[in-house]
Amino acid sequence: MMQKRYMSIWFSTLLTDWIRIKRPALKDLPLVFSDKAGNRMVITAASKEAASLGIHLGMPLADARAIVPDLEVIENQCHKSKKLLTALGRWCIRYTPLVALEEDQGLILDISGCAHLWGGEKAYLREIVNRLRGIGYQVRASISDTMGTAWAVSRYGRVSPIIKSGEELNALLPLPPMALRISPIASQKLIKLGLKTIGSFISMPRSVLRRRIGEDSMERIEQVLGQKEDFFLPITVPEVYSERLASMEPIRTRKGIEIAIEKLLFQLCTKLQSDGMGLRSALLQSYRIDGQVIKTQIGTNSPSVNTSHLFKLFSLQIDKIEPKMGIELFTMDAVRFDRLDPGQESLWMTEKSMSNQKVIELLDRLAGKLGAQVIQRYLPQPHHWPERSIKKVDSITEPLSLPWRTDRLRPVQLLKVPEPVQVTAPIPDYPPMLFRYQGVTHQVKKADGPERIEREWWLEKGEHRDYYQLEDAEGKRYWLFRSGHYSPEKPSQWFIHGFFA
């Protein structure tokens, strides 16, 4: 078996470094993070400046404020450090595929067989540390055969960060007992006994040590020295669906762009499909020779791995990709993807269920070019008020939750806003005898009504409507209403609202 090598990275002031990267104005100010512990606020992280003023972790915030009145405090970020570490761990995947989190602001990397790619462990370590320091994190790192030794040296080591194989014990000898990561009680006990370095007690007989510091600490020591296997839980990285296609010669023609898109889509969809996923949104980036990047995005109404359909969506936007001097690189990312539902059933598709997919693809094309808002589908709503009797739905598969009303006749054409008309009506509650709309007088020959529709007072205020269905001499049919009650003092307001077939 190949000799394992581990690298431990310690972020001594992780949270404060992070906030300073985000807010450079906080640089060089005493800065602490605090969180609730029980019913008081306690310091959970302190910057170097704060620490030098006597503020330490676990101190109540009130005490810290007493020492440094103009202390900068950031509250309630208790899960931030884990999140940050995970993100940093994912960033480290570029150096090794196996990265694990450590309890106190550290990462552990399994670097077996990776370091030579950077020209040896020294260069490897320097690269990582310099990169992280460049971002703004205070880090210390160490490489060793065991995780425990790497951990100890990264935190307490003073000599060399790289411990050669078999040198673990020697490197540990001058370090304090805490470096073994045994329980604080045990290490305190050892210090009290005057055993201030590991070297002073490590060669003691096991049975003697075990009696004083306990079985757990003994196990820990064995792990550090590599006599026992340590536990390593690598972090997982979310699958990234991304494809790239570089071209030997810069691409300048539409045909060339089309071929690139087809190829990328094919690769992306094959990958997605093998994972049972379907594309919801894809981003194509075309890198031009002149340094410009053209972004083109498509979206679909349902997960899809149908390359020809997705290609059609892109082809609607190819015009926007101006090659100018030429495009040298295309990348395509799956911005959104969902689990592919193999057999989506919908309710009206009794015979044509197979063809549902094609309609969805058509709607994707329409939405891609004209915008998703142009697609409308309506379902009934339990309201009598005509404007509110239907609701828009986004999905073309949403089933009918309540039946369409057939008991009342509704006009085929409905005006969005009722228009006022002049009406001659004989007596209250009688339909009009004639009405005038857009300069034409209509003699009413037949009429039905009134159908009173009350405004829903809990939704809006206003008058009710008394609707009449009117037929004029030519047989044309109209939907008119009088707004509010009839009153002899003032003439009633009449409106036309629709046209019947």
Q: Which residues bind other proteins (CB under 8 A)?
A: 348-352, 355-356, 358-359, 361-363, 365-366, 369-370, 374-380, 386, 389-390, 396, 400, 404-406, 409-416, 445-448, 469, 471, 473-477, 498-501
Q: Which C-beta is closer to other proteins: that of 93 or that of 396? A: 396
Q: Which C-beta is closer to other proteins: that of 185 or that of 400? A: 400
Query: In the complex, what is the shortest distance from the CB of residue 475 to other proteins, in angstroms, rounded to a whole number?
Result: 4
Instruction: Tell the residue number behind the tokens 């899809």, with chain if given.
Output: 304
**DSSP letters spanning 4-31:** P-EEEEEETTHHHHHHHHH-GGGTTS-E
Phi first, then psi: what are they for 72, rounded to 5°? -85, 120
> 48-57, long-range: CB within 8 Å, 24+ apart, which pairs?
48/13, 48/16, 48/138, 55/30
- Degrees, nearest 5: CA angle 130-133-138: 130
Query: In the complex, what is the shortest distance from the CB of residue 294 to other proteins, in angstroms, rounded to a whole number?
Result: 24
Amino acid occupying residue 138 = Q
Contact criterion met (CB below 8 Å) for 390 and 377? no
Query: In the complex, what is the shortest distance from the CB of residue 309 to other proteins, in angstroms, rounded to a whole number?
Result: 11
Q: Which C-beta is closer to other proteins: that of 173 or that of 473? A: 473
**Of 493, 356, 365, nearest to 432 (Cα)?**
493
Query: In the complex, what is the shortest distance from the CB of residue 389 to other proteins, in angstroms, rounded to a whole number?
Result: 6
Q: Which C-beta is closer to other proteins: that of 89 or that of 411? A: 411
**DSSP letters spanning 191-226:** HHTT--SGGGTTTS-HHHHHHHHHHHHHHHHHHHTT
CA–CA separation, 302 and 279 (whole Å): 8
User: Residue 357 region, left (φ>0) first, then alpha (ψ -120 to 50), else beta?
Assistant: alpha
Asked if omega into 250 is within 30° of 0 (cis), the reply is no
CA–CA separation, 123 and 470 (whole Å): 91
Angle between the 307-315 and 254-274 helix axes, to the nearest 10 degrees? Answer: 140
Contact criterion met (CB below 8 Å) for 479 and 498? yes
- Supply the DSSP symbol for 183: -
Integer CA distances (angstroms), 199 to 174, 232, 477, in order:
6, 27, 104
Query: In the complex, what is the shortest distance from the CB of residue 33 to other proteins, in angstroms, rounded to a whole number?
Result: 53
Q: Which C-beta is closer to other proteins: that of 259 or that of 366? A: 366
Query: In the complex, what is the shortest distance from the CB of residue 468 to other proteins, in angstroms, rounded to a whole number?
Result: 10
Read off the tokens for 389: 């009797």
Query: In the complex, what is the shortest distance from the CB of residue 369 to other proteins, in angstroms, rounded to a whole number?
Result: 8
Query: In the complex, what is the shortest distance from the CB of residue 367 to other proteins, in angstroms, rounded to a whole number?
Result: 10
Q: Which C-beta is closer to other proteins: that of 16 or that of 469? A: 469
Q: Which C-beta is closer to other proteins: that of 221 or that of 470? A: 470
Q: Which C-beta is closer to other proteins: that of 163 or that of 444? A: 444
β-sheet bridge partners, residue 327: 251, 288
Query: In the complex, what is the shortest distance from the CB of residue 278 to other proteins, in angstroms, rounded to a whole number?
Result: 19
Q: Which C-beta is closer to other proteins: that of 245 or that of 396? A: 396
Q: Which C-beta is closer to other proteins: that of 90 or that of 377? A: 377
Query: In the complex, what is the shortest distance from the CB of residue 499 to other proteins, in angstroms, rounded to a whole number?
Result: 4
Instruction: Tell the residue number behind the tokens 């602001």, with chain if given.
Output: 105
